[in-house]
Amino acid sequence: MAGLAACSVDGYGLSATRVSQGDGALVVEVYSLGANLRLQSGDQGFGLGASRRSYVFPAAQAAKLAPGWHYFLIDLPALPPVAMRGTSYGLDLQAGPAQTGLSLGFSETILASQPPAEASLLMQLSFHPDLPAQTRLSYCRKDTMPC
């Protein structure tokens, strides 16, 4: 059982999660130590070591998440984030649609969402991973412009 004590799956297990309210966005930071299986849409993979994953969600899609610190369990939104930053120390296997690879040591990834071309969206994002409360997100569909 000692080997299982240092593992997590998304926000469940040996992890600490901080939810911050930005302007039009919620930033969810998941800190984990040990083995970490990531099933979050757009950021699938496996890590062994220490990691910090920051996800930006439109506030309306993540309204059920209460701002503040959450330990050992949190339900992440099922929809893909509009942006993600991943920092890993150790072994990290990325298996998501936007990035596939293996790294050993330090790795850092920043990805923005890729909506379908037919979505016709205008999105403005100012993502501050180290100051998540200053993150700003606004978007509108082509049929509702100007926004």
DSSP assignments along 76-122, one per residue: --SSPPSEEEEEEEEEEEEESSS-EEEEEEEEEEEEE----GGG-EE
Number of domains making up the chain: 1
What's this model's pTM, rounded to 2 decimal places? 0.84
What pLDDT does residue 147 have?
60
Residue 7 in tokens: 């593992």
Which of these, 102, 91, 15, lies nearest to 53 by C-alpha position?
15
Name every residue whose Cβ is closer than 8 Å to that of residue 59 and which is 6 or more positions away in sequence: 21, 22, 24, 25, 26, 137
* Distances 70 to 12, 86, 104, 120 between C-alpha atoms, Å: 10, 19, 28, 35
Amino acid at site 76: L
Which of these, 52, 54, 18, 57, lies nearest to 33 by C-alpha position?
52
What pLDDT does residue 1 have?
34
Domain that holds residue 105: 2-144
Q: What pLDDT tens digit does each residue of the chain (147 aa) get?
A: 334 446 777 767 778 899 999 999 999 999 988 888 888 777 888 889 999 999 999 888 777 888 999 988 888 888 888 899 999 999 998 887 777 888 999 998 888 877 666 767 777 888 988 899 999 998 777 666 666
**How far is Cα 132 from Cα 119, in angstroms, rounded to an integer?**
27
